[in-house]
Amino acid sequence: MGFMVTEPLELLNWQRITVEESMPPEVQPACPSCGQLLTEFVRLAAADGHRAIRVGACYHCAYLGYLDRPTREWISRYYDRVWSHGAEKDTEALAAKKQKSNPARSAIERALAMLPDPRAAIVEIGSGYGTMLKFIRANGFLNLIGIESSRRRAEAATRATGFPILSGDFEAPAIQSELARRAPIRLLLAFHVLEHTYHPGEVLAACARLQKSGDLLVLGVPNVWGEPAMNILLFLPHLHSFSASSLAQLINRSGYEVVDSSFSNQAEVILIAKRTTMLVDSRTPARDYGSDLTIKFRRELCLDQPLDAGRTYRYFWSKDTATVFGLKPYHWYWRIQDRLAGRSGCRSLLVEPLADDVSIADLPFRVQFARNLFLCIK
């Protein structure tokens, strides 16, 4: 069940990268959240059939992620090249566009209220331009440190905020050594970071080493149930898509216990957890998420609609929410409509039904590319 992508029409701020030999794949066989083997859920395939990217699903905890993904070294080179771009620009203006959501700020205020001492060490992983650190300072906490992958961005943020912003990967030995000198870290924050990391479990293990029992961790990630299906498939920087269940599983397996999930919503999963030395039951509840994930993808990819063989369609979806998506017969004048769709925040592809439709019970969803297989980056 699926369709063929014949041409991208409007990708907004995305850029295509062709999946070639220069992008060596590495297989992720197991769910990073609960450890169960991933089931092939969607296959993205080139026209010649020689190259494919598989997206895996964990039906036990509602996790989705690339079964086949570029190596860690390739991902690191990508961030070195892309994330440093534009760091010399006005950081205040850029930070204004990257304000954390109100639920995230509310979760941080809740966590700050749980800290017994305003001198407590607080670290934000992926601190960007220091916007959230300034928000925390306004709440009376001054012992703040940021971690930012981009060296130039970290330097610009340090100049703009006065906070020490360490440059590098959070798990890197140099960063860990510096943070260990300041340990215990009473509060660790990471918003929209974990989905970018190669091994989320390693990140949380590094967090646990810096904290003592009772210290706090606040995590926020895009919610797989609210993230558009096509974003999950094509946007390479998001290696993982978590649900509230899968993120809680990962947290519990990493030496933490979730104490507050009330700030989560359709768009984001936001959890507050406490470091614990006790064994937390991380077993997945007796529920199979396979049918729910299948329904989501059938609906959002419009595969629950009858398609005419040989006819070309325009598939479009909102870049921000899964509530806007559709499939319409394509005509030449849709070029104009596509420009309008771009201005309204929609991405779109030119697609055709696959000739040999196969039941989802037999094969995963398939997205075939008429030419080269591509994924997208910013």
Of the two residues 332 and 139, the one the predictor is more confident about is 139
For the chain, report the end-to-end CA distance as a whole number of angstroms. 29
Pairing of strands 2-10, 346-353: antiparallel
Least confident interval from 7-16, 280-289, 354-363: 354-363
Q: What is the mean pLDDT of residues 211-232?
A: 96
Confidence of residue 98 (pLDDT cuts 50, 70, 90): low
What pLDDT sits at residue 281?
64
Instruction: Give the pLDDT confidence of 352-364 residue by residue, as tens digits.
Output: 988 765 444 456 7
Q: Give the per-residue pLDDT at 362.
A: 58
For residue 244, pLDDT over 70 is answered with: yes
Share the mean pLDDT of the chain: 87
Answer for the pair 160, 154: CB distance below 8 angstroms, yes or no: no
Whether the pLDDT of residue 63 is over 80: the answer is yes
| Mean pLDDT along residues 96-122 | 86
Read off the pLDDT of each residue in 114-118 and give the average, rounded to a whole number: 92
At 293-321, the pLDDT tens digits run 999 999 999 998 888 888 999 999 987 76
The percentage of residues in the chain with a pLDDT greater than 90, rounded to a whole number, is 61
Q: How confident is the model at residue 88 (pLDDT cuts 50, 70, 90)?
A: very low
**Which positions ≥6 away from 39 have C-beta within 8 Å?**
56, 57, 58, 59, 290
CB-based contact 66:55 (threshold 8 Å):
yes
Mean pLDDT of 342-353: 84
* Predicted pLDDT at 242: 98
The domains found in the chain, sorted by start residue, are: 79-275 (3.40.50.150)
Q: Model pTM greater than 0.75? A: yes
Interatomic CA distance for residues 220 and 242, integer angstroms = 10
Looking at residue 85, its pLDDT comes to 54
Q: Which residues contact 158 (CB under 8 A, 6 or more apart)?
A: 164, 165
The residue assigned the tokens 């190596």 is: 71
Most confident of 106-120, 279-293, 332-346: 106-120
Confidence of residue 83 (pLDDT cuts 50, 70, 90): low
Q: Which residues of 5-41 are buried (b: 16+ CB within 10 A; e: fewer)?
A: bbebbbbeebeebebeeebebeebeebbbbbeebbeb
pLDDT in tens, 133-181: 999 999 999 999 999 987 888 888 888 888 899 998 899 999 999 999 9
Give the pLDDT band of residue 84 (cuts 50, 70, 90).
low
Predicted local distance difference test score (pLDDT) of residue 155: 86
pLDDT at 87: 44
Helices 200-209 and 244-253: crossing angle in degrees, nearest 10, is 50
